[in-house]
């Protein structure tokens, strides 16, 4: 079998068809995203935004969204740090199953998450918790519905963060007499600080956009369990398209702020 012979003096084919193909295929999606944003901005006037912010119900939804998303993000990071570290640093029986279980909230339809939470609180243990600490169709259910999904994204972020941190410094600390906990708190966690900020920010953004679980498990009661995504749904249900788009633009603005924070704090070597 003869191998192909490269002719040194043969001119290389032009690269512009390759770049053109990349631009056309990738640009189609970019144009779609830009078109949606431009359409929303063109459809809504500043007066619509002012009227939306003047609504008592929408102001309540904004306040509840900010509070619930912040609590959700903090809780998500609290569970994501130990889980991400465990999955990154240790091998144990059942690790693959645990890894798959933690991905379930990411791949399952959001309505299924909400329905599962509702069924959980219809079980005897869930009913007991609901009697002691009212949860279903109350503000705690909003936080729990957001947390059930957002925490999975925080865990993925923290595992990637710990995977990218070399264990060499941690091992040195252990050989110098530090315990595993001391090595974690003094060496690993400070190196993972950017990953923690990224996980916190992404889980906050994910909680802000959560609709299906909140709708099923918390309902969409005005001035009670209404958050921004359910506000969009309620405004559409009464035919207030301008109000729905105005609230959507508020969420787009929040998403842009989150993306800027992620870009500033989350590098390709998160936490290093």
Superfamily of 44-265 according to CATH:
MetI-like (1.10.3720.10)
> Hey, what are 271's tokens?
């936490």
Task: Tell whether pTM > 0.75.
Answer: yes
For residue range 25-50, what is the model confidence (pLDDT) as tens digits? 889 999 998 998 898 888 888 888 88
- Per-residue pLDDT, averaged over 118-132, amounts to 93
User: Quick one: DSSP state of residue 184?
Assistant: I
User: Quick one: DSSP state of residue 266?
Assistant: -
> Hey, what are 18's tokens?
């390759």
- Per-residue pLDDT, averaged over 62-80, amounts to 95
- Rounded (10°) angle between helices 241-265 and 16-43: 130
- Per-residue pLDDT, averaged over 134-146, amounts to 94
What pLDDT does residue 48 have? Answer: 82
- Per-residue pLDDT, averaged over 133-153, amounts to 94
pLDDT of 13 > 90? The answer is no
CA dihedral in degrees (137, 142, 145, 146; nearest 10)? 170
What pLDDT does residue 5 have? Answer: 53
Domain extent listing, the chain: 44-265
- Per-residue pLDDT, averaged over 254-264, amounts to 81
> How far is CA 36 from its chain centroid?
21
Measure Cα distances from 236 to 85, 206, 231, 246 in Å.
Answer: 43, 22, 8, 11
- Per-residue pLDDT, averaged over 55-70, amounts to 92
- In terms of phi and psi (left: phi > 0; alpha: psi -120 to 50; beta: otherwise), the region of 6 is beta
- Per-residue pLDDT, averaged over 203-228, amounts to 92
The Cα 103–Cα 149 span in angstroms is 10
What pLDDT does residue 178 have? Answer: 85
What pLDDT does residue 52 have? Answer: 84
What pLDDT does residue 4 have? Answer: 54
Mean pLDDT, the chain, whole residue set: 88
Question: Residue 9: which pLDDT band, with cuts at 50, 70 and 90?
Answer: low
The Cα 81–Cα 111 span in angstroms is 27
Nearest to 156 by CA among 76, 212, 97, 94: 76
The Cα 29–Cα 166 span in angstroms is 36
Question: Residue 7: which pLDDT band, with cuts at 50, 70 and 90?
Answer: low
- Per-residue pLDDT, averaged over 196-225, amounts to 92
**Percent over 90 (pLDDT), the chain:** 54
The Cα 159–Cα 181 span in angstroms is 18
């Amino acid at each position: 079998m003869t191998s192909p012979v490269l002719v040194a003096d043969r001119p290389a084919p032009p690269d512009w068809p390759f770049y053109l193909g990349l631009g056309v295929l990738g640009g189609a999606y970019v144009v779609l995203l830009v078109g949606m944003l431009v359409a929303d901005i063109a459809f809504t006037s500043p007066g619509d935004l002012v009227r939306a912010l003047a609504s008592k119900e929408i102001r309540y939804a904004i306040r509840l969204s900010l509070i619930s998303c912040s609590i959700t993000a903090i809780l998500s990071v609290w569970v994501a740090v130990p889980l991400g570290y465990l999955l990154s640093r240790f091998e144990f029986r059942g690790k693959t199953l645990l890894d798959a279980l933690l991905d379930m909230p990411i791949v399952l339809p959001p309505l299924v998450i909400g329905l599962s939470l509702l069924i959980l609180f219809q079980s005897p243990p869930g009913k007991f918790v609901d009697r002691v600490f009212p949860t279903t169709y109350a503000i705690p259910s909003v936080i729990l519905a957001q947390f059930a999904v957002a925490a999975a994204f925080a865990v993925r972020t923290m595992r990637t963060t710990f995977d990218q941190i070399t264990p060499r410094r941690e091992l040195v600390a252990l050989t110098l007499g530090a315990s595993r906990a001391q090595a974690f708190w003094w060496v690993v966690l400070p190196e993972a600080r950017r990953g923690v900020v990224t996980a916190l920010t992404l889980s906050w953004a994910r909680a802000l956009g959560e609709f299906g679980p909140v709708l099923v498990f918390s309902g969409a009661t005005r001035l009670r369990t209404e958050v921004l995504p359910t506000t969009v749904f309620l405004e559409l249900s009464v035919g207030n398209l301008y109000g729905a788009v105005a609230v959507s633009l508020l969420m787009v603005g929040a998403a842009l702020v989150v993306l800027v924070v992620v870009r500033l704090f989350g590098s390709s070597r998160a936490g290093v």
